[in-house]
Copies of this chain bind each other. A is one copy, B any other.
């Protein structure tokens, strides 16, 4: 079973069982963001994590095995995403990309925010004018090494 096939079965099972991503994450023992990304084919799980996830979804051992493989990362069909919910984040890079770069360099010097030593959190912030989505990206600063 390829990783793509496993992802398709996972999405189908999640919808059919009506189980929430956050519930599966609780069972797996990681954050909703990491767990959902792993289930959608972007991270490799350990054997116990994969077992917990597939048990929650009612899926078999081949899916659990596939979840432990190292995935070929990348989940967009096109360089520019077409789905509005995802596109807005691409738009933020179009508007704020050089700003983020300028402010990171100003504060830290030449380097990057790691996308590997990284965590992400998505929260709902109640607001009388309409609740807000708060996404926190947290990555280690990595300095360009001179050599």
Interface residues of A, dominant DSSP: mixed
Contact flags (1/0) for A111-122 with B, using CB distance below 8 Å? 111111111101
Chain B residues near A20 (CB, 8 Å)?
Answer: 106
A94 to B41, CA, bound (A): 11
Number of interface residues of A (CB under 8 A): 94
Q: Are B119 and A107 in contact (CB under 8 A)?
A: no
Q: How far, in Å, is A137 (CB) from chain B's closest CB?
A: 4
Contacts A75-B97, A100-B135; is A110 near B147 (CB within 8 Å)? Answer: no
Contact flags (1/0) for A1-16 with B, using CB distance below 8 Å? 1100000100110011
Residue of B nearest to A70 (CB): B105
List 28 A-B pairs, Cβ < 8 Å: A2-B11, A21-B103, A32-B103, A33-B147, A36-B99, A36-B102, A43-B110, A72-B82, A72-B98, A73-B94, A73-B95, A74-B95, A76-B94, A76-B97, A81-B97, A84-B91, A85-B105, A88-B115, A89-B93, A89-B100, A92-B118, A107-B122, A114-B142, A119-B145, A120-B147, A130-B142, A131-B140, A134-B138
Add 15 more A-B contacts to A74-B83, A100-B122, A100-B135 (CB < 8 A).
A36-B99, A36-B102, A37-B96, A43-B146, A70-B105, A72-B83, A78-B79, A84-B91, A85-B111, A86-B93, A86-B97, A117-B143, A131-B140, A132-B138, A135-B138
